[in-house]
Each structure stands twice: as structure tokens, then as C-alpha cells.
Amino acid sequence: MRELQVQTKYGKVQGELLQGASVWKGIPYAKPPVGELRFQAPTQPESWDGIRQATEFGPENIQPRHDSEWMGGQKPPESEDSLYLNIWAPEKESSHPLPVMVWIHGGSFVTGSGSLPVYDGTQLAVRGDVIVVTINYRLGPLGFLHMAPLGEGYVSNAGLLDQVAALQWVKDNITAFGGDPNQVTVFGESAGSMSIAALMAMPAAKGLFQRAIMESGASQFMPAEQASALREGMLKVLGVDRDNLEKLNSIPVEQIMAAAEVVKQQSGAGMALLFQPVLDGETLPQVPLQAVSEGSAKDVSILIGTTLHEGALFIQPHVPYSKDIDMVQGVNFMTPDLENRVAIADSYPKTADGQAQVMTDMFFWRSALQYAAAQQQHAPVWMYRFDWVMPEHPLLKRAIHSIEMFFVFNTLDALKFMKAEPDEAAKALALKVQDAWIAFAKDGKPSVAGIKWPEYSKDRATLIFNHEIEVVHDPESSKRELLGV
């Protein structure tokens, strides 16, 4: 039996046994970033005396709330004081340190947390004999406003620096929970995967993980000039200028969130990422794609992929075609480096489904292919695509953005919030997806029983997860060539 009372660098924590896993929730990995620490780099947490009960998740970071019922649960507690992590370990003590998997959640850099039901680490930890860690980090303007140019200790990419601080905490403390600090795999989806792309380019993150699993997200950044304009717009709405920056420490956080919403409306950003990693010359000195192509993450193996219909989550097939969604403008935004953008946009059907395909191919698939090609010069790379659908379900009749997470964590029960009841075949597929992720975390090579899964190289071998699993070489090659990758 694993000891549930664990000594960390900062004090003792008391976990609990849940469904065959040893679980610790709501462990602080940094000081609360409030007051004078708002918009500053994270700092080490305060030590405590006695035993801290680690049986409740910490608050989620302040975020706009929409209809997120499908992710499960009711509105959770939220606060600026949100820099907490959660740990799942097998119930039984192991004779050797276990591989560690650190999950970075998605949510467009503005929503989400490490405590959502879909991210429950029980099945991964117990089936895989690994340690699973999920984290919170600062979101929206609190995490991604380009503040460094203001001086006064302000930083840019605070949310990414939070992730670095959490990984440093893992390196310093995970041995006490039975984990191997030298065998850490980061895995994440959407903005979480884009975060990993940035971490692989960040000097501060070097050496904090050895492997990376990137689900539906790759190199993503905002140029400093654009980020500065966004910051100035925020400050103007808040009534703050260079002479009264100290106001930023005491303005109610609700006003900051409201100002972000005003600026978003003014910018007409639509579905664009208003808050995201910023090229600030220091924390993120280079475009992640360029950095990895030059070897910034040498020897970090990656498993990377997308779903077949990413865009169908955002632009659902049953909605009428909207002329308000300018496909050429969308292509310009998603792929500014492409020369034949207008021709590409025109090649898609003038339907909502066509618009969704543009998003799938330009924003998700193309960026994954580019990132894989850049990193394979420096480390082994594997590629997957998730195609599973539930034909009778109004939304899941497409392999939408984020659907694979329910399979990775084997939390298919959480799909009940979408009024979906996965069948036995889906449950069997979840075990195969999970086995692939676990194998990669353990051995640096994903594997599925009965399938030979080669590295991604010139023949572009891609494992397709569907009702049947197969390896396809260079899937949709003509479309790939049109996209210039």
C-alpha cells in the first residue's frame, strides 16, 4: 500500500484512496499570484506546518463561462489564487520510480482547468502504472497579456511560466510520490498542446521533460507588436496609464475580465485567439516552429496528431452557411505564410461543413505536419489521427476537436453530458488509445497491440484510430501538397 501522507519540499500533504488510485488534490506549486504578484512571474509557494489535507481540487483560474456542460459538472469555484496541481498514483507501492505524465489542459488559453472530470487520472495511473499530474495555470489576460514592456517586474507569458513552475515542482517533489523526475512526459490538447510547442522553445523549460504528446495544437504565437496593441487597449478600458500602473494590483479581477471582453468585441477577433503565447524576446524568444527546427528541443521525442474533423466542434455541420465567416480572411489568419491562400479557400465547399474543414486543415492538421517535420530532424516523432465517430449522434457524427481526450483518460462516462452512450467497441478503443499513450510515456515509443507503427518520416506513417486501427502512409497527400507541407 502506498503511503498517503507525503513530505514535499514545502510541507506534508495528506491524500486519499479513490477507486484504486492514491490521489492528492489542490497542492500549491506557487504563491497565489494576487495583489503585487498579479502579472508577475510565479514564485515558490510558502511552506506550511502540520499536515495539509490534499482532498479537494484547488479553484479554477478566473475565466469566462459559457455552456461547458458537456465537459461535465456544475460551475466550480474560481479564483486568481489558482496555481494548484493534482496527482494520481497506483495504489500499490512500486519497487522502482514510475514514469510521470503531466497534463496541460486546453481551452483557447482562456478557459479550463486540471480538475475537469474528463481529465480524471485514475484509469491512466492504475492501468498504466504511471504517475499522472494535472495542473492549473493563469488564463486570458491574467496569463497572456504582454506586460513585460511595462517594467515594474511585469512579465509576458505568465501562463507559460506557471507551467514551467509546475514542471519544476514536479522535478523537485515527484520522487516522494513514487515518480521518476527524469522520465517526465508532458501531454496536452488544443491550447495545452500549443503550450507544449511553446515550452519546447522556451529556455526556462529546458530539461524539465523528456517526451511530449501533442493533441490538436502546435506552434502558435502572437507577434509583440500585435500583443502590445492588445495590452494598450486593455489599459485604456481599465483607465490605467504609465503614471498609475500600481492600480493594476488592486483593480478587481472582474473588471480585468470585463475589459478583456470589451477589447475582444472591439477587435472583431471572432474565433481568433485573443490571448496566446507572445513572442517577447525573453520568455519566448523565437517562433516555436522555428526554434524546434533549429534544435531547441533536441532529443525530446513527440507523439503528435489531430482529429479528422477538428473544425466541426466550432462550426457545426447542421448550421446554415454563414457569409459572416470570411474563409479567405480565416485562411489569412491561420496560415499567413501560404502564398495561394485565396485559391485554397475557394477549393472548399461553400457550406458550414466546408468552413469547418478549412479550420481543420489549415489551423490544426497543417500546423501538426509542420511541427512534426521540424522536430523529426532532432528526435523520434510519431503521428496519429483520431477518426472515431458515433454516426447517430448530432455532434459526434464527426470526429470533433477534443473528442480523443475522453479516450486518452478513459473517461468515456463523462460523455453522458453530451447525451452520448459509448458502446463496447468505443470502450475497447479507449484502452488501445490509452495503451499507446502509456507506452510512449514509459518507453518513448507508442504502440498498439497487433499493429506495426513506424516513426513519422519521409513516408509520413500515420496511425488512424477508428473502429478499425491501421497505419496509413501520407494520408490525403494531394490536400497536404496543396497546403504547402
Yes or no: say if 383 and 95 are a contact pair by the CB < 8 Å rule.
no
- Measured distance CA(22)–CA(15) in Å, rounded: 7
The pair phi, psi for residue 471, each rounded to 5°, is -100, 125
The dihedral region occupied by 130, where left means phi > 0, alpha psi between -120 and 50, and beta the remainder, is beta
Closest listed residue to residue 144, CA positions, set 264, 243, 53? 264
Closest listed residue to residue 445, CA positions, set 428, 426, 463? 463
Yes or no: say if 140 and 108 are a contact pair by the CB < 8 Å rule.
no
The conformation of residue 282, written as its DSSP 8-state character, comes to: S
- Measured distance CA(393)–CA(44) in Å, rounded: 47
| Catalytic residue, candidates 189, 215, 310, 404 | 310
Cell 477518426 -> residue: 387
* 234: amino acid identity, one letter: M
Is 401 catalytic? The answer is yes
Yes or no: say if 166 and 145 are a contact pair by the CB < 8 Å rule.
no
| Catalytic residue, candidates 189, 401, 402, 404 | 401
Is 261 catalytic? The answer is no
Task: Report the Cα–Cα distance between both ends of the chain, in Å, rounded.
Answer: 51
Q: Is 264 helix (H, G, I), strand (E, B) or coil?
A: helix
Closest listed residue to residue 310, CA positions, set 334, 279, 328? 334
Q: Is 467 helix (H, G, I), strand (E, B) or coil?
A: coil
| Catalytic residue, candidates 115, 190, 296, 367 | 190
DSSP string, 310-342: GGGGTS-TTSPP-TTS-HHHHHHHH-TT-S-HH
- The vertex-212 CA angle with 196 and 307, nearest 5°, equals 80
Going from the C-alpha of 90 to that of each of 84, 210, 325, 371, 431, the distances in angstroms are 21, 22, 48, 34, 17
Q: With 0-12 CB in 10 A as exposed, 13-18 as middle and 19+ as buried, what is 267?
A: middle
Closest listed residue to residue 60, CA positions, set 153, 141, 135, 169? 135
Closest listed residue to residue 159, CA positions, set 78, 80, 242, 253? 80
Is 481 catalytic? The answer is no
- Measured distance CA(407)–CA(429) in Å, rounded: 7
* Residue numbers annotated as active site: 190, 310, 401
